Structure 1
Amino acid sequence: MAYTLPALPYAYEALEPYIDVETMHLHHDKHHQTYVNNANAAVESLPADLKALAPDELLRHLDKVPADKLNPIKNNVGGHANHTFFWELLKVGTELKGELKAAIEKDFGSVDAFKEKFAAAATGRFGSGWAWLVVQNGKLAVVSTPNQDTPIMGEKFAGVSGEPILTLDVWEHSYYLKYQNRRADYIAAFWNVVNWDKVAQLYAAAK
């Protein structure tokens, strides 16, 4: 079954003023759609058992992908999966609380310390990539990946591992219309649009 572009779970303007409507149209309708198109082309030549896998499952089994197909799959199926995940984690007006907040305080020392570490991962990612909050062996950790790599690919293919529960896209197309070269301002604004309810659900399932 061919991959399709998922509809946003909110209106394009829902994240204003932190993420502008023009960026949302460009990011979702153009960039994500391109990853979907290229992912379908890349997957088309895979063996039938791999073609039948959902994007996340395929990325968890990259060791089964032929070597000459590996980079197109990582780049494009990764791009599709990462963006699909990212859209679900955005919402204005939720609150970090309960078990997730307690876990962040336990594993990072404080919420502020977690945000500083996450921001450092996002700011320090040279070029394009992602910052992640993951669950590793029951504990929370912050990691980053280049390009469209994701922790679910594992250490061998992404250099990091863990079950993602939060991510931030730091490719320039995700912020340049509004923030230009001020990636740090975009990262600071991100905390206003994190869907903490969704992150808490993911944490409960992953820990």
Structure 2
Amino acid sequence: MIILPKLPYGYAALAPTLSANTLHTHHDKHHRIYVDKTNELAPKAGLDGRPLEEVVREAQRKGETKLFHNAAQAWNHAFFWECMAPKSGLPSATLRAALDHAFGSVDAFKDAFVTEGSEHFGSGWVWLVTGSEGLKVISTHDADDTLTRDGLFPLMVCDLWEHAYYLDYKNDRKTFLNRWIDEVANWTFAERQLAAADGRGDGFRYPDAAEDAGARRDAPGQGDRPPA
């Protein structure tokens, strides 16, 4: 059984970039639905009790489309929460050097990220990934992600589905993306992912109940969380 992981910050911690109302709706309703549907469908596909990463890959391999969509969306959202922080800061020297090498500058990367995301047709995700070709920006449609794409390792993602931004930005996805990359992008998390891609540490994996409780027990800003 997979869980709905808690946010790594309070619901109001990303305001005004993202409102508490948006995070309540996005996390408590949309992410929860994907988790619940995955837990309903995984046993029928013989995948009950498997790590979510394995469920996503096996569902895609077996052609279990409905399970894949829900499991991938559950994973994407958990990764997305980690890609944001109340204090965005600046990329570390290591990450900055990698972005400079791939895009020419951090600002050029931001432009590429926002352009890819704002011009993506329909729902999906915009990613900063690394692989044999170095760092690059890609977008994926609907629930598709990087787990089923050999040779790609995700560093950062932003949600392009309207439920991620409509309450705060209506249909202005480009403004949302510009503010997101400038104000709440979690460069520290992206740096850890880059290190993991280079074999220096572990990359993100979907948490189980014990990991989620331990990681969040002392997390700041949880006082505005509603009762379960």
TM more than 0.5: yes
Tell me, yes or no, if structure 1 residue 175 matches structure 2 residue 174: no
Per the alignment, do residues 109 and 30 of structure 1 end up closer, same or farther by CA in structure 2, a change over 3 Å counting?
same
1:64 Cα deviation (Å)?
4.2
Aligned to 1:80: 74
CA deviations 1:40-75 (Å, max 9, x no partner) are: 11212122xx3332112332344642x3x2x11221
Aligned to 2:92: 97
1:1-207 correspondence runs (5 A): 2-47=1-46, 50-62=47-59, 64-65=61-62, 67=63, 69=64, 71-93=65-87, 94-137=89-132, 139-154=134-149, 162-191=152-181, 192-207=183-198
Q: Structure 2: which 5+ residue stretches go unaligned? A: 199-228
Aligned to 1:158: none
Q: How far apart are the structure 2 equivalents of 1:43 and 1:73?
A: 7
| Equivalent residues, number | 196
Q: Structure 1: which 5+ residue stretches go unaligned? A: 156-160
Aligned to 2:214: none
Which structure has the higher relative contact order (CA within 8 Å, separation 6+)? 2
Residue type of the alignment partner of 1:81: W
Q: What RMSD in Å do the two structures reach over aligned CA positions?
A: 1.5
CA deviations 1:151-184 (Å, max 9, x no partner) are: 12117xxxxx611110000100000011001111
- Matched residue SS, 1:53: coil
8 A Cα contact 1:130 1:169, kept in partner: yes
8 A Cα contact 1:62 1:153, kept in partner: no
Q: How far apart are the structure 2 equivalents of 1:58 and 1:104?
A: 32
Which region of structure 1 is more displaced relative to structure 2, 114-123 or 14-23? Answer: 114-123
Per the alignment, do residues 83 and 126 of structure 1 end up closer, same or farther by CA in structure 2, a change over 3 Å counting?
same
Q: TM-score, normalised by structure 2?
A: 0.82
Q: TM-score, normalised by structure 1?
A: 0.90
Q: How far apart are the structure 2 equivalents of 1:103 and 1:186?
A: 25
**% of aligned pairs identical?**
37
- Larger fraction in helix: 1
